[in-house]
Amino acid sequence: MDALLRKATTLSRWASWVAGLLTLASVLYITLDVLARRILGAPLGGSDELSGYAFAISISWALSFATLQRANIRVDALYQHLPVRVCALLDWIALVALAIFIVVMTRWAGEVALTSWTRNATANTTLGTPLWIPQALWVLGLLWFCLVLALMLLRASIALVTGDLPGVQRIAGMRTAQEEAREEAESGRRMVHGDGT
């Protein structure tokens, strides 16, 4: 199970890099569109539409890596004062709630993309983009996120049942201040020594 999670993390890391590049390409295109409008008096066109697609697609593909890295935001004012066993149960419940929400969202997103496909729907813009294309890429990112959440939930459930409370925290818990400090120190060490890995 841990090997599957490591592979999912690697694939999700690559997906987040591609998502970041898509966002960067969107920013560059918007910049070129603004410059063309300002300098040439004629915009390239479609930057708002394409950037919207790029944003939705990149977010859906980056969600899995953010969740695997426990980079999602949670309010911890009360959480940090609770017993470890209660925290582990709350971590598991939070993962279940996230999984339920994403599965429902993915179902509806899939229906939207399927409707666009069957009706041959296009964007009401000059580009006339077939809507199923960006929607399908968006849904694929959400489907990948569902798969990653299923793996995380299965592993966290096993850890919870077997009493491996640190395991639950490692998979579904909040990052501690010590973990964040250790990661920052390691990142600083790599920068100082020129090690890009």
Quote the CA–CA distance of 57 and 99 in Å, as a whole number.
Answer: 19
Cβ pair 44, 32 in contact under 8 A? yes
For residue 184, the tally of other CB atoms under 10 A from its CB is 10
Q: What pLDDT score does 10 carry?
A: 92
Q: What pLDDT score does 196 carry?
A: 53
Kindly tell me if the per-residue pLDDT of 40 is higher than 60: yes
What's the mean pLDDT in 49-53?
A: 90
Between residues 182 and 58, the one the model is more confident about: 58
Quote the CA–CA distance of 148 and 193 in Å, as a whole number.
Answer: 34
What's the mean pLDDT in 106-120?
A: 96
Q: What pLDDT score does 20 carry?
A: 93
Quote the CA–CA distance of 131 and 115 in Å, as a whole number.
Answer: 10
